């Protein structure tokens, strides 16, 4: 679909209703992949892409302006930075606790719990940054020539 006929798409009731039904499930599935990344297939990168695809679907159906109202530029911009900082922050925390960078053992009294917590936070950082990057890239292309 070319982006120029988004206005046309707005009148397509079926697409609007179906995507509205789908979007919450896409988001939920994104969260599932995020939190189960350390037990099964998945992880921050995949989760971030899935989570972002919900916003991209929304943008395809309802237009870029509407999407920017849902996720303003400052949200995605901060998200990009927050994810990296969370990742690096976990590493710095382990440094301050006297272990090597990203040695999660230091994060809890029990090394296994430390590993769990560490990978969870790091993947969360990855997820946030990837999600915001995907949304930013999509909107940057789709919104070209508008502003």
Partner 1 sequence: MIEAHLPILQVIIPLIAAPVCVFLRHPLITWALATVISWVCLAISIMLLQQVQASGEIIYEIGGWAAPWGIEYRVDTLSAWVMVIVTSVGAVVTPYAKLSAEKEIDRDRLYIFYAMLLLCETGLLGITITGDAFNLFVFLEISSLSTYVLVSMGKDRRGLTAAYRYLIMGTLGATFYIIGVGLMYMMTGTLNIADLAKLIPDVAETRTVQAALAFLTVGLAIKLALFPLHLWLPNAYAFAPSVVTVFLAATATKVAVYALIRIVFTIFGGVDILESVEIRHVLAALAIAAMFAGSAVAIYQTNIKRMLAYSSLAQIGYMILGLSMNSVTGVTAGLVHLFNHAMMKGGLFMVMGCVVYRIGSAKLDDMAGLGKQMPVTMGAFVAGGLSLIGVPLSVGFISKWTLLQAAFEKGWWPVAALIVVSSLLAVIYIWRVVEVAYFREPAAGQVAVKEAPFLMLIPMLLLIGASFYFGIDGTSTLTVAGDAAKALIGGLK
Give the footprint of partner 1 on this chain (CB under 8 A): 77-78, 80-82, 84-85, 88-89, 91-92, 95, 98-105
Based on CB atoms, which residue is closest to partner 1, 70 or 92? 92
**Residue whose CB is less far from partner 1, 66 or 100:** 100
Question: Quick check: 138 and 76 in contact, CB under 8 A?
Answer: no
**CA separation for the pair 102, 107 (Å, rounded):** 10
In angstroms, rounded to a whole number, what is the distance separating the alpha carbons of residues 102 and 11? Answer: 51
Q: Which is nearer to partner 1, 30 or 125 (CB)?
A: 125
Least separation in angstroms between residue 116's CB and partner 1 is: 14
Nearer to partner 1, 43 or 63 (CB): 43
Inter-CA distances, 92 with 34, 43, 60, 102, Å: 23, 21, 40, 8
Considering only CA atoms, which of 62, 34, 56 is closest in space to residue 47?
34
> Quick one: 69 exposed, middle or buried, by C-beta within 10 A (0-12, 13-18, 19+)?
exposed
C-beta of 43: minimal distance to partner 1 in Å?
Answer: 16
* Residue 94 CB, nearest approach to partner 1 (Å): 8
Q: Least separation, in Å, of the C-beta of 41 and partner 1?
A: 21
């Amino acid at each position: 679909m070319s982006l120029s006929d988004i206005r046309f798409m707005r009148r397509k009731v079926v697409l609007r209703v179906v995507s509205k039904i789908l979007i919450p499930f896409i988001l939920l599935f994104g969260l599932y992949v995020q939190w189960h990344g350390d037990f099964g297939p998945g992880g921050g990168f995949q989760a971030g892409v899935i989570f972002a695809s919900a916003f991209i679907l929304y943008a395809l159906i309802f237009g870029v302006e509407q999407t920017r109202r849902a996720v303003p530029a400052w949200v995605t911009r901060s998200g990009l930075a927050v994810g990296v900082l969370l990742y690096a922050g976990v590493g710095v925390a382990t440094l301050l606790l006297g272990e090597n960078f990203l040695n999660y053992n230091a994060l809890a009294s029990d090394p296994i719990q430390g590993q769990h917590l560490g990978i969870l936070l790091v993947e969360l950082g990855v997820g946030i940054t990837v999600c915001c990057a995907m949304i930013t890239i999509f909107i940057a292309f789709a919104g070209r020539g508008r502003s």
